[in-house]
Amino acid sequence: MANTRLQLLAMALALLGWLCMLVSCMLPMWKVSGMSSSSAFLAQGVFEGLWVHCVLQGTGDMQCRTHGSMMSLGTSMQITRALVVCATMLGVVAFFVALAGAKCTTWLDESATKTRLATSAAVCFAVVGLLELVAVSCMAHHIISDHNNPLISPDMRREIGLSLYLGFGAAALLLMGSSFMLCASRGSDRLQFL
């Protein structure tokens, strides 16, 4: 019974981490800049995401456009996009494998098979968490390097946006869910404290 609850907690944490990763991927706030004019009417903020580039006018209007082509993106943006897409797809697979291997489901009767599936799901969730962590770390490193580069004009400097913080949180939730899933799939008598 304790393992079942721990597995459900692990799946909930991993699902929450995957959803945070998805929201982080869709939000256009990976790189942000503050308002760049002394006049409130002319001020504008810039938000760059994995898929779109947005400009917020001082009047409150926001205009977004998708990135033109893959070739116009920087290397770190291309790497981040690829890692996040791979992590998202692997997260879907991991969740369905976790459902099949959960002790509370009746899809499979054999306990050894369920244990192997739960362990596989834990490994997949760990890989998803690591992919997300590498993706947001790569982008954060690029933003910080550009921000501290004296050759880049102050108007072109960007700061770390909300999506990166959300991505770090998503990676942490996925890694916690993975470790809980791994603990729950190992030994039925050892986890009687829940």
Task: Concatenate the DSSP letters of all residues of 80-146 into one string.
Answer: HHHHHHHHHHHHHHHHHHHHHH-TT--S---HHHHHHHHHHHHHHHHHHHHHHHHHHHHHHHHHHHH
Q: Which residue has the tokens 């969740």?
A: 95
For residue 35, what pLDDT is reported? Answer: 58
Domain that holds residue 108: 2-27+71-152+161-185
- pLDDT of residue 124 exceeding 90, the answer is yes
Name the range with the highest mean pLDDT among 19-23, 42-46, 187-191: 19-23
* CATH (domain of 19): 1.20.140.150
Average pLDDT over residues 36-53: 72
- pLDDT of residue 153 exceeding 80, the answer is no
For residue 38, what pLDDT is reported? Answer: 54
What's the total number of domains in the chain? 1
**How high is the mean pLDDT of the chain?**
85
Q: Is residue 59 part of a domain?
A: no
Q: Supply the Cα-derived Rg of the chain in whole angstroms.
A: 21
Q: Is residue 66 part of a domain?
A: no
Q: Is residue 138 part of a domain?
A: yes
Q: Is residue 131 part of a domain?
A: yes
First-last CA distance in the chain: 8
Q: Is residue 46 part of a domain?
A: no
- Residue 126 CA from chain centroid, whole number: 12
Q: Is residue 65 part of a domain?
A: no
Q: Is residue 36 part of a domain?
A: no
Q: Is residue 55 part of a domain?
A: no
Determine if residue 60 is left, alpha or beta; phi over 0 gives left, psi from -120 to 50 gives alpha, anything else beta.
left
Sign of CA dihedral 130, 136, 141, 144: negative
Phi/psi at 44 (5° precision): -150, 145
What pTM value is reported for the model?
0.85
